[in-house]
Copies of this chain bind each other. A is one copy, B any other.
């Protein structure tokens, strides 16, 4: 969940219509690329970003010799709407600024990314779509919305539809932000210190597993005590965020559901059945809000869908790539999937 952006580009999409009505005029899609697109455009990988992160968050997967090997692949990392780099409450002018920013769905995100991948780069087929958490949700949405374009999909620590318990967790986060004394219906952007601190504290319990804390795994992140970890890791992670941006991303997350794709008629099972990508879902064993059950369930409805649980104690933040064992486990799976034939 690094929030220090490095160099990135922006694709402007004029008059970008939104699924919930209205439009962004323009939508701005911030993205970064790594490696070089082959002349036949056959080596592209897409890695959408997760909640409160940006295109730098999963750089640990990307680079020469890394699982998303930039000596071979062209890796596109599009930023989630609401993250402060792509169109967001914090960077959109009136009348859509701040609390007036419209609701954005996963399909809006994926459709904008399609405009980047297909319209801008002229890529017909992605070798892989891979993402973590909300990035995994975009991965599922890509596989459903554009089955002909996705050869392989690797969603990790995520789900195809936000489960009810996950939605309750999000409701708690929303309530914390909007209870802030400086909240005032979102009219006091950007950040509200009390609410963001409480938000970070609440998130701390969900982000890692019970066993992570029991076994003091935060020591491997350089913190000597639990208090230091709560203050030194979690508070900075959210302290610089814009509350309206967080709320915008939470809305997108809460409403993630591939079943809402046109043609699926609200039926997530039907939507999953249309996936043709070779799909390997990788939930983390002790993830408290995207538990393995979510992706195991989804995989059962994806033709040839496979699931491989990431073992260990890092909970949801298994997907942050801070634990070498997890990096190794996920990396090996990425290489295996890329070495396998795609399904379309």
Contact = CB atoms under 8 A, between A and B. Distances in A.
A10 interface: no
Nearest to A180: B179
A206 B203 CA distance: 12
Contacts of A322: none
Contacts of A174: 201
Interface residues of A, number: 41
A167 interface: yes
Given A172-B198, A179-B181, A181-B180, A164 B205 contact: no
A188 to B, nearest CB: 12
Nearest to A203: B172
Given A165-B210, A172-B198, A176-B176, 7 more contacts: A164-B214, A168-B201, A171-B204, A172-B201, A175-B198, A175-B200, A179-B198
Number of copies: 2
A264 interface: no
Given A163-B214, A214-B293, A226 B179 contact: no
B202 A176 contact: yes
15 contacts: A165-B212, A166-B210, A171-B230, A172-B198, A175-B176, A176-B176, A176-B179, A178-B198, A179-B179, A179-B194, A181-B181, A205-B206, A210-B291, A210-B293, A288-B288
Contacts of A167: 213, 226
A298 to B, nearest CB: 12
A60 B339 CA distance: 59
Contacts of A178: 194, 198
A186 to B, nearest CB: 15
